[in-house]
Structure 1
Amino acid sequence: MPAYLCHGFRWHRRSVRVYVVVQNLDDASPEWIIPAKSATCILESFYNLFDFLPYCSPSDHDINSPVSSEDGNLTQNTSRAQSRGHRSRSQRGHGGTSGADFFAQDWSVVKVLEEYDPMNLDEVSRPYAYVADYVVPVDLSVSIAEEMQKYEERVKADRDPPIMGPGSDETGRKKANKQRTGWFEKLRDQLQRGEEIRWYVVVNGDEVRDFPEYPQE
């Protein structure tokens, strides 16, 4: 049962449906956005639409093998323009082998997630998906405080941070009126304005959701 600690915001299902239709994303599945083909289609559309996002491309990921850093994050430095400086293309924590479709998103600094309870037969999909700029797969356990500290250190060191320091609306930070916003805050404003950016634990009871195979009579 894949579980993830993530820093991000909820993307309401109605907004997902509208986005997929308006952008004419034939390969995207708005009720279940995480299959590799669907997630790649949606994420690529983000980079095509929003030039404030750090440059990322799945074709670059195919060509260049990711380099494993000391803390286990997969990193590749690139930028949309030289003025933006260098950035880690994939931000995910150490450990974790669950969720093959999720790891197909390694090329992107933005991730999408779904939560799902296979025992709840009253829902085809949850009321929202998740969009994140930091995701840690949780196999057994993870130190939440340690991962939050890693994220804080990354934000402080980044020349083009995803959120703008103490002014962010992330839970645990002091809200303040500010003129500047980070690229992840701008993405939130484009996809789901008013939604909080905060830490979530997302559990997905069945990422594949295959139909059972019954023997033919």
Structure 2
Amino acid sequence: MPTWLVHGFRWPRAQVRIHTILQNLDDVAPEWVMAPATQSCLHKNFKEQWPDIIARLPGLQFIEQYDPEDLTVKDQPYAYVCDQVHDIKLGIDIDEVRGAGVSDEQWAAIAELRDKVTPDAKLGWFVVVNGDVERWAPPVEDEDELQDYDDEEEAETKTLSPPARRTSKALDESKHEELDRRDNTQNKKLQEPKKRSTSEDSTSRTAVTTNVAKASLAITTQDG
């Protein structure tokens, strides 16, 4: 777990956010100050605002405390603006490091920067622990794999989906066709008796004509 002995001042996380917004720093992640893009953007911004001060702080770094096992908060309350950062591997002689001291010019520069950034902060030495500098996260799946998965889901959905219902227009057309079919059937039934009646009338007329002819013949015979 990375641990450092640093010299500088604490920068409250809320003030980091405010600075990021006021300076319109799109590449800064206030919750992840040690991200490479954030480090670069903040250093550039500080250099543009206070070039004389930053010129006297060649070792300027931004460090932060972080506990990946603390799931109750998304970040820790402090970042650190440092002019000295000593990496603690297995141990360190604090007196030896502090004995080397900080030059007067460097001390004055970091004090001036503190007054510009957060005037009420204490200037001194701090031990900072960061449980996950790189902020590990699960890898993002390949876009092609995600697309294939979406296609499979869509195909499965189509297979399991019930057949689509006919639209109201299709139902209306079907009803009209059924009514037309019934009308045609009724018309055929009504026409059949008429045909039979016509045939019967013709037969009756023929019979009457025959009877009349027979009667006329009989009368003619009697007269002869």
TM over 0.5: yes
Alignment of 1:2-151 (within 5 A): 2-55=2-55, 89=58, 109-151=59-101
Q: d(CA) in 1 for partners of 2:53 and 2:120?
A: 19
Partner of 1:75: none
Distance 1:22 1:188 in 2: 18
C-alpha displacement of 1:135: 0.6
Mapped to 2, the partners of 1:9 and 1:88 lie a distance apart of: 14
Code of the residue aligned with 1:41 in structure 2: it is C
Distance 1:2 1:212, change over 3 A: same
Partner of 1:211 in structure 2? 137
1:134 touches 1:151 (CA, 8 Å); kept in 2?
A: no
TM-superposed deviation, 1:134: 0.7
SS of structure 2 residue aligned to 1:39: helix
Judge conservation of contact 1:6–1:132 (CA < 8 Å) in 2: yes
Cα displacement (A) at 1:162: 2.2
Q: 1:88 to 1:14 in 2, by over 3 A?
A: closer
Per the normalisation by structure 1, the TM-score is: 0.61
Deviation at 1:11, TM superposition (A): 0.2
Question: Unaligned 5+ residue runs, structure 1?
Answer: 56-86, 90-108, 164-181
Which of 106, 131, 136 lines up with 1:162 in the alignment? 106
Per the TM alignment, residue 214 of structure 1 is displaced from its structure 2 partner at its CA by: 9.3
Distance 1:88 1:38, change over 3 A: closer
Matched residues, number: 143
Q: State the one-letter code of the partner of 2:10.
A: R
**How big is the shift at 1:37?**
1.1
CA distance in 2, matches of 1:131, 1:88: 11
Contact 2:9–2:80 at 8 Å: present in 1 too? Answer: yes
Distance 1:110 1:129 in 2: 13
| TM-score normalized by the length of structure 2 | 0.59
What is residue 72 of structure 1 aligned with on the other side?
none
Secondary structure at the residue paired with 1:9? Answer: strand
Equivalent AA in structure 2 for residue 38 of structure 1 = T
Indicate yes or no: 2:125 matched with 1:195. Answer: no
Deviations 1:49-106 (A, max 9, x none): 0133243xxxxxxxxxxxxxxxxxxxxxxxxxxxxxxx683xxxxxxxxxxxxxxxxx
Aligned-residue identity in percent:
34
Q: Distance in 2 between matches of 1:88 and 1:183?
A: 7
For residue 202 of structure 1, report the CA deviation from its aligned partner.
0.3
CA distance in 1, matches of 2:99, 2:122: 19
RMSD: 2.0
- The structure with higher relative contact order (CA 8 Å, sep 6+) is 1
CA distance in 1, matches of 2:54, 2:112: 12
Shift of 1:213: 4.7
Name the SS of the counterpart of 1:125 in structure 2: coil
Moved more, 3-12 or 143-152: 143-152
